[in-house]
Each structure stands twice: as structure tokens, then as C-alpha cells.
Structure 1
Amino acid sequence: MTSSTATNFRNIEQVFKFSFSNKHTWKTNYNTRKSMENCSRHVLKHLGPKFEIRKTDQSAMDYLYDTMVEHDASNSLFNRAKTSLQTALNFGVSRKKIFTDIREPHINAQGMFHFESKPEDRVPQPVIKKHEAEQMVKVAREHFGGNLADSIAISVYSGMGYDEWTQLQACDIHWGDVPFIWVGNRPDFTVKRNTRKRKIPLVGDLTGGNLIPILKKRYEDAVGTKIPLFGDDWNNADQHRREFNKVKTWCRINPKVTPYCLRHSFCTWLIQADVALPKVQKLMGHAQITTTMNYIHVADNDLANAIGRL
């Protein structure tokens, strides 16, 4: 079907170039730009750079989906690629470079492009075992440096994500009878929309035993300043991920494990230790209990142990 959309651009390559040159987040945010560049490559590869904007409708998205699936792309990857094109087109609309007709089925009431997403199957995140976490920290410290080892430890033994532990300052560490990390308590400490500020007690052999020595050393070096305890060690998440992957390969850990899986593993360990879900939710900072429930992994031996308690 040919749309009645009018445009100053002829093809989707031009609208992508315009967005990368003028859309603020695509220009200035490193992670967003890299993600959009990757997604746009898929769109341009399968639709072709000269694909006309006036033909960019739902049937074109169906064709894009079919061709991407033929090349073993997941529904999730298609949805991200589709969203990158939809975002670029709507940026063109907002800048009055593209003029749409709301009578078209793929144009919403605000005159913006809207394409259907494909259902995504939730794939469980890999979970590492405690001895694997210990091995990764040890190998990182011996072969890749203390900064990488400390970053793995703070994530896997506290459940904090990269965007949280890189913001930690000395004032976020509270020493006392029960020392704790206060995540998100500063006005300039940014937490994600679906995450809540929280206290993480530094107790027990796993969390306290592993993190207190690391935090004390970094605290002493940064007390009285606003220097991030860990953030200055890394330029961005991609750099950290590349170094993390070296340790993962060295230790022969599941290749699908990512830095985020460290947080995921910490949450899973809490659940496997029979910590009540509301407490796990609070420790992880989940806004909804349903998010916490997504972390539950029930193995066969867990089921056997449950029956054995009767």
C-alpha cells in the first residue's frame, strides 16, 4: 500500500541521518546513539537505504519482520529496529519535515507513525553461582586490576546495577553498628523510573565480608568530596562490559552472562535463601512485587527440597 504521507525526505536513510544530526539524545547520549546506530543498520539492511518514506507503513514493517526472522533475528531485535525507525520518522514529523495523514491506519490521532510490535518471549537471565562470582572477582583482581574486581564485587554482592554503583559517593556509605549503603538518597542520585531508593545493609559473610574492605578503602580516599567511589574507573557501560567479558571468558562462565546478570544473581540468591519476597523487593528497589517475581528460578532440586519439608 502506498501512503499519502508527504515529506521533504525521499527515503529512510535521509530521515535517519537527520535524526542522528539533530535529535538531542541521539547526538549526545553515547549508549543511545550506539543502540540506535545498531538498530538503524538492521532497518537499512533489510528495507534498503532508498526505501521511500511514503511507502513506510504497517505492510512495510511486516516485510521487515519477515526478512529479519529469516536472518535469525529475535522478536525483541525486530521491535528495537522498528522503534528506531518509528522514532526517526516521528522526529521528522515534529520538525515539520514529514507531513502525515491521520486517515492512514499507521498514523495515530496526533499525526505520528505507530507500528505494531511483535510479542516477546521473556528469556530468563542467566544466574551465576556464588563460587563463580568469587572466581570472577579473584581472576579480575589478579589479571585485570582492582577496579574491575571491585566493580564485579559491588554489583554481585549488593545487587546494584551499573547506573547505581557508578554514582556512589562517600556520603552514601553510612558506618555504624549496622553499616549500609544508601542508594538514591541524594537529590543528584538518579535512579531509574521503576526503581526505588533503598538501604543495603553491609552485613553477613557474602555482602559485608566482601564489600566492607573495598568500601572502606575507597571511602577513606574520597571522604569529604563528591568524587564517585567507582564511577571514575569507567568511561561508559560499554567499556565496562568489554572488560567484564574478558574475565567471563577467562573463567569459562556461561557466555550469555552480562554485567546485569550480577544483579540478577544476587536477587536470585536471596530468593533461594527463602528471604520473603517483600524483603527482596525492598533490597532490590523494585517498584512492583511482580518485578521481583520475574527473578524466581525454580530448579528441580528446589521442588524436591520443598516436598521434603512436609
Structure 2
Amino acid sequence: CKETLMKTKAMTLLTLSQRAWEKFWETSKSPASHASNVKKLLATLGKGRDIRKISTEDIEKACNTWLKEGASEKTCNRRLAALSRMLKWAERRRWIERRPYIERFKETGGRRRWQTDEEEAEMVRLLEEAGHPRYAQFVVFLAETGLRRGEALGLSWDNIDLDEGWIRLWVTKGGTPRSVPMTAKVFNLLVELSAPGVAGDYYGPWVSVKPSSFTDAWNAARKKMGLAGDSGFTPHCLRHGFASRLVQIGVSIVAVKELLGHAKIETTLIYAHLAPKNLSEALGEFERSRNG
């Protein structure tokens, strides 16, 4: 078997991912989510990487890169699961002799970190002071829409309906299109960005926002805020903040689920404990029904 492997032409990670896509994910329930994971694996490990030479150390370095970019441990685990499935299949097909050990993160169900109003305002101020006004606007946009960073970065002007005040998302992580209404702040921001002569953003509002550069600017501002050791204070906390505030003001969990684009209600239920008023009102209704 080893001799057969040695004579086999080297397969790249790109080729393996294309074959795995056709076999496992193309007709799955959430192809967009799988596509996102595979795309990130290719970008980090390299499209031309010989799959026989992918080591545990390479995978650990990739994880460190993702964490520095602001990915959660849960997101890293999804990417690792995709890589593990591809390499396990490659091992069975004898394209590799043995797949490397892949250690996944232990996920905790602890409190989701979200930004306070003061932290958000300070982040915006520091980004503007550092010469990143577009990044500051991007922070406001994420906080006011609850969009995933990747969803926001992928927006084109065709996705934005300024006449009706809606953002239309056709390709999402959950695989289901959704629409998100604009707040007045988001509407005014997009009107400003859509004005003729706004350099670098002819395709969409956030074309000039480069993920790695934005993460570096965020981390630099976070350090100035005295939050360098707060690993939970990432751009993704803006999405948690959006959801948390909605629940706290009494918006139904079902509506929050639709706005966030969660595939399962269980994902949205992590915010349910933030609605004590709703629970009190529900218990009051129960008590009144019992007392006639």
C-alpha cells in the first residue's frame, strides 16, 4: 500500500476539496456554510498544498490564524470538521497514507460577550483617530444590522434596496436567503456611501474593507481600550450585541431568529434568558388564568 501511495501523483488541497464538495456538500441542506468553511481552509492552508504534507502543526497554525482574525472556537471547529472529513476520505481512498491528528477546541456554553454602548462608541472613535473612517463606519453597520462580517463584506449594491429600506441577502451561512430592514442610521450611512465618487466602493459599500487589515485595526484599538486580554471582544460581539438588545426590549425570539438568519431556533435561544420581563408577564398570564 505504501508503495502504491508513493507512486500516486500528488493531490492538492484544492483538488481534494472539489471532489469532496461533489461527494458530501453540494446537495447538503446548508451548502453555503460548507462552502465558507472550505474557502477558509484553502485560503489558510493553501490551494496548492500537497495533501500528503499537511501536518498537525500546519493545522494548529491555521487555527491560531483564525483566532487572531476574530473567529470563535465554534467556527474553528466547523472548519476543522470539514478538513477532517476530507482527509479521512482521502485516507480511505489511499490518496494519503495517514491523516494528521486534528485536535478540536472544547466549546463552552458560557456567556456571550457583547459590546456596551460605551465600548462601541470608543471603538468607533479610536478607529477614526487612527485614520480608518471606513472601518469605523463598518463597526456601526455591523452593530445596527447584526450581519455576520462575511455577509456584510460580500454585499453588492444589488443587495441593497434604498427605496424600500431593506438589505437582501441571497447567499447566507444557513443557506436560506433573508432580508434585514435598515435602521435610520444604516440607511443614512448607505446613502452616503452610495454617492457618486466614493472611491473603491463601486461594487458594494464595504469593498475597501480588507478582513485582515480590519482585524488588525480592531485589535490595536482594543489594546488602547485596555481590553487586550479580553479574547471575547471581537467584531463578532457586535452581532451578539444586536441580538441581545432586541431580546431585552421584548422582540420575540422567532423574530430575532429571522433577523440573524439562524437555521435552528435552538441557536437563538441562547439569548432567551435576557428577557426576564417576558417571562414575568407570561407567569402573570398563567396566574390570572388559574385564578379565573
TM-score tier by shorter-chain length is: 0.5 to 0.7
Q: CA deviation at 1:272?
A: 1.1
1:248 aligned residue:
222
> What are the within-5 Å matches in structure 2 for residues 261-272 of structure 1?
261-272=237-248
- Measured in 2, the distance between the counterparts of 1:284 and 1:132 equals 22
Q: 1:21 to 1:161 in 2, by over 3 A?
A: closer
Q: Deviations over 1:127-173 (max 9, x none)?
A: 11122212212221222311111111111111111222122233433
SS at match of 1:183: strand
1:288 aligned residue:
264
- Measured in 1, the distance between the counterparts of 2:135 and 2:11 equals 38
Is the 8 Å Cα contact of residues 222 and 229 (structure 1) preserved in structure 2? no
- Measured in 1, the distance between the counterparts of 2:173 and 2:180 equals 16
Alignment gaps of 5+ in structure 2: 21-37, 47-52, 60-72, 285-292
Q: CA deviation at 1:192?
A: 1.6
2:209 aligned residue:
234
Match of 2:221, as an amino acid?
V
Percentage of matched positions with identical amino acids:
16
2:25 aligned residue:
none
TM-score (norm 2): 0.63
> What are the within-5 Å matches in structure 2 for residues 80-159 of structure 1?
84-94=83-93, 96-97=94-95, 120-159=107-146
Q: 1:229 to 1:116 in 2, by over 3 A?
A: closer
Q: 1:121 to 1:76 in 2, by over 3 A?
A: farther
- Measured in 2, the distance between the counterparts of 1:118 and 1:242 equals 23
Match of 1:43, as an amino acid?
T
Q: CA deviation at 1:264?
A: 1.5
Q: CA deviation at 1:292?
A: 1.4
Match of 1:252, as an amino acid?
G
Is the 8 Å Cα contact of residues 137 and 149 (structure 1) preserved in structure 2? yes
Give yes or no for the alignment of 1:192 onto 2:163. Answer: no
Alignment gaps of 5+ in structure 1: 47-73, 101-111, 203-207
Q: Deviations over 1:98-145 (max 9, x none)?
A: 599xxxxxxxxxxx99x9989743344311112221221222122231
Q: CA deviation at 1:78?
A: 8.0
SS at match of 2:243: helix
| Alignment coverage as a number of residue pairs | 240
- Measured in 2, the distance between the counterparts of 1:303 and 1:76 equals 29
2:65 aligned residue:
none
- Measured in 2, the distance between the counterparts of 1:77 and 1:279 equals 28
Match of 1:136, as an amino acid?
M
Q: 1:222 to 1:122 in 2, by over 3 A?
A: farther
Q: CA deviation at 1:34?
A: 5.3
1:211 aligned residue:
186
Match of 1:90, as an amino acid?
W
1:182 aligned residue:
167
